[in-house]
């Protein structure tokens, strides 16, 4: 099993290209199931989760061809030979549940295993289920599978989510594109990934308004056609690499980055003493002067501080001047990286959904273990600011969401290498 070796090597200098968004691409790929015409995605990230979704779509009868070294995905679902999303594939990734809405809308039936993914808390399917039931689907849980039917087709409805779930918003919006009548989705998620999905669906002929706001209106159409769509920049990869010069020092330009993708995060970095400047190519990020200042963070749905950047922000706060409090409101069990950071000399006290971090002047390298996707990269970032060597094991989590981390950081002067396992 691979591991990542990091040696603290001083300030960073250079540029890092930001890939297409994993979470956007994982929602865009199932959209192919809505049409019998080709859907092509450009700027796709090269990640294991994308390969898992490819395998899932192929198991349903879709054709998926990866081109230009994985940057382009050409898909066609003209023949859906199977309507069951099997546990052996779905268990690897929670986003697999995003085939449920499209299959129901197109075929009127779907059998989808309950999903898997990182162990960062229960992300229940009840919001997905209640939304699709409001559209007229009958859904029953049997033996770990959701058995869904819409024999008379889906029908538009007014749906108000109890929580602005990104995945449920994606599932409901995709299903509603082919429903009869108008659907109004209230308390919809507002994330850039939702906006990107709607842009793609609109290019396919869907009639949707309100993306990026709390209310999305979908007027159903009889069919969708093919399209070509570029995947939006990955704001979580962007935020992760923004932390790198903040924690290690130096200045890095992030190609393709945009402040509007991370408004609350950029505000917190500014308060901590990190300069973020929009350029013609992207964002330039640098530590202003001296030691980082402690700031408090509360994770929230967009446009608030992203839960997927909480672990990375905690790593930064470990060497900040003062005491910071990080509050996690989206997922339980998402402080599993804290004990690993403490192995590196961090001072962290976790109580329920709050973590209090007392900054230290310097972390120390140590062998640590990744517990989930974002935790794994937070340990690499911490290693950039540590004395000696840090070895991060179980980095198969990392490969689900970051492509070639060691290459991107090394190009900016970091001493980072992958150690291949047996």
Binding residues for phosphoenolpyruvate: 22-23
Instruction: Give me the catalytic one of 25, 118, 266, 318.
Output: 118
| Residue ranges at the known binding site | 22-23, 94, 308, 330
SS (H, E, C) the chain: CCEEEEECCCCEEEEEECCECHHHHHHHHHHHHHCCCCEEEECCCCCHHHHHHHHHHHHCCCEEEEECCCCEEEEECCCCCCCEECHHHHCCCHHHHHHHHHHHHHHCEEEEECCCCCCCCCCCCHHHHHHHHHCCCEEEEECCEEEEECCCCCECCEEECCCCCHHHHHHHHHHHCCCECEEEEECCCCCHHHHHHHHHHHHCCCEEECCCCCEEEEECCCCCCCEEEECCECHHHHHHHHHHHHHHCEEEEEECCCHHHCHHHHHHHHHHCEEEEECCCEEEEEECCCCCECCCEEECCCCCECHHHHHHHHHHHCCCECEEEEECCCCCCCCCCHHHHHHCCCEEEEECCEEEEECCCCEECCEEECCCHHHHHHHHHHHHCEECEEEEECCCCHHHHCCCHHHHHHCCCCEEEEECCC
User: Which segments are annotated as binding site for UDP-N-acetyl-alpha-D-glucosamine?
Assistant: 94, 308, 330
118 tagged catalytic: yes
Could you give the residue numbers annotated as active site?
A: 118
């Amino acid at each position: 099993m691979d591991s990542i070796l990091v040696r603290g090597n001083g300030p960073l200098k250079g540029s890092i290209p930001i890939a297409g968004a994993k979470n956007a691409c994982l929602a865009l790929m199932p959209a192919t199931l809505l049409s019998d015409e080709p859907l092509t995605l450009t700027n796709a990230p090269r990640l294991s989760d994308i390969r898992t979704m490819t395998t899932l779509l192929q198991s349903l009868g879709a054709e998926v061809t990866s081109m230009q070294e994985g940057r382009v995905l050409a898909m066609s679902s003209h023949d859906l030979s199977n309507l069951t999303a099997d546990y052996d594939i779905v268990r690897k990734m929670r986003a697999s549940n995003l085939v449920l809405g499209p299959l129901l809308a197109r075929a009127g039936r779907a059998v989808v295993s309950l999903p898997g993914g990182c162990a960062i808390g229960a992300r229940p399917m009840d919001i997905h289920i209640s939304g699709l039931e409001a559209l007229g689907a009958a859904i029953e849980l049997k033996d770990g599978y959701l058995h869904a039917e819409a024999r008379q087709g889906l029908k538009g409805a007014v749906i108000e989510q109890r929580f602005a779930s990104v995945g449920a918003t994606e599932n409901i919006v995709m299903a509603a594109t082919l429903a009869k009548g108008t659907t109004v989705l209230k308390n919809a998620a507002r994330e850039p990934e939702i906006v990107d999905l709607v842009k793609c669906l609109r290019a396919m002929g869907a009639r949707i308004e309100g993306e990026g706001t709390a209310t999305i209106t979908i007027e159903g159409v009889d069919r969708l056609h093919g399209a070509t769509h570029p995947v939006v920049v990955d704001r979580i990869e962007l935020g992760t690499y923004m932390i790198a010069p903040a924690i290690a020092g130096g200045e890095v330009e992030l190609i393709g980055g945009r402040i509007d993708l991370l408004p609350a995060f950029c505000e917190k970095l500014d308060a901590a003493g990190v300069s973020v400047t929009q350029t013609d190519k992207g964002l330039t990020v640098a530590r202003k002067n001296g030691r980082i200042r402690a700031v408090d963070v509360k994770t929230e749905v967009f446009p608030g501080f992203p839960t997927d950047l909480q672990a990375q922000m905690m790593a930064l706060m470990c060497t900040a001047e003062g005491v910071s409090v990080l509050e996690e409101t989206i997922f339980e069990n998402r402080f599993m990286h804290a004990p690993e950071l403490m192995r590196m000399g961090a001072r962290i006290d976790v109580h329920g959904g709050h973590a209090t971090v007392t900054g230290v002047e310097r972390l120390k390298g140590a062998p640590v273990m990744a517990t989930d996707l974002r935790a794994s990269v937070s340990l690499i970032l911490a290693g950039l600011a540590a004395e000696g060597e840090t070895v991060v094991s179980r980095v198969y989590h990392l490969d689900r969401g970051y492509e070639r981390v060691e290459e991107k950081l090394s190009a900016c002067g970091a001493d980072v290498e992958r150690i291949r396992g047996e």
